[in-house]
Amino acid sequence: MALPTKFAPAERKPQAVIDEQSRVVRSFENLEQLLQGVPYVSLILNYERQVVFFNRALLSALNIDRPEKVFGSRQGEVLNCIYSDREPGGCGTSEHCSVCGAVDAVLRSQRDHETVSLECRIATRQDGVLVPLELLVASTPLEIQSERYSLVTLTDVSDTKRRRSMERIFFHDITNIAGSLKGYFDMLAHDIDVDQLTEMLPALQDSLNQLMGEIQSQRSLTLAENGELQVEMTEQHSREVLESVAVAYRRNEAARGRTVVVDAGCASALLRTDPPDLRALPRWRGELRLQRGGRHHLPDHPPRRENKGLASTIAGAGPAG
State which of 136, 156, 176 marks the end of a domain. 156
CA dihedral 28→32→35→37, nearest 10 degrees, is -140
Instruction: Let me know whether 195 and 111 are in one domain.
Output: no
User: pLDDT value at position 128?
Assistant: 86
Return the ∠ at Cα 161 (arms to 155 and 164), rounded to 5°: 140
Does 305 reside within a domain?
A: no
At 260, is the secondary structure helix, strand, or coil?
A: strand
Pair (150, 41) in one structural domain? yes
49 in the Ramachandran plot: left (φ > 0), alpha (ψ -120 to 50) or beta? left
In terms of domains, do 114 and 188 share one?
no
User: How many residues are recorded in the chain?
Assistant: 321
pLDDT at 99 over 60: yes
Q: Band of the pLDDT at 272, cuts 50, 70, 90?
A: confident
What was the pLDDT predicted at 278? Answer: 58
Q: How far apart are CA 4 and CA 11, in angstroms?
A: 9
pLDDT in tens, 128-158: 899 999 999 999 999 999 999 999 999 999 8
Same-domain check for residues 44 and 151: yes
Categorize the per-residue pLDDT at 198 as very low, low, confident or very high, splitting at 50, 70 and 90: confident
Please give the pLDDT value at position 276: 59
Q: C-alpha distances in angstroms, 316 versus 36, 40, 118, 242?
A: 15, 8, 20, 36
The residue from 156, 182, 201 where one domain ends is 156
Q: What is the pLDDT of residue 258?
A: 80
Higher pLDDT, 159 or 310: 159
Q: Residue 41: what pLDDT?
A: 94
Q: Would residue 124 count as lying in a domain?
A: yes
pLDDT higher than threshold 80 for residue 239? yes
Question: What distance in Å separates the CA atoms of residue 217 and residue 80, rounded to the nearest whole number?
Answer: 36
Number of independent structural domains in the chain: 2
3-state helix, strand, coil in the chain (%, to 5): 45, 20, 35
Q: Please give the residue range of the domain that contains residue 25.
A: 15-156
| Cβ neighbours of residue 165 closer than 8 Å, sequence gap 6 or more | none
* pLDDT of 228 higher than 90: no
For residue 47, tell me if it sits in a domain: yes
Domain co-membership, 269 together with 292: yes
pLDDT: is 10 or 196 the higher one? 10
Residues 181, 140 within the same domain: no
CA 175 – CA 170 distance, rounded (Å): 9
More confident residue, 53 or 278: 53
For 141, the 3-state DSSP assignment is strand
148: domain CATH number is 3.30.450.20
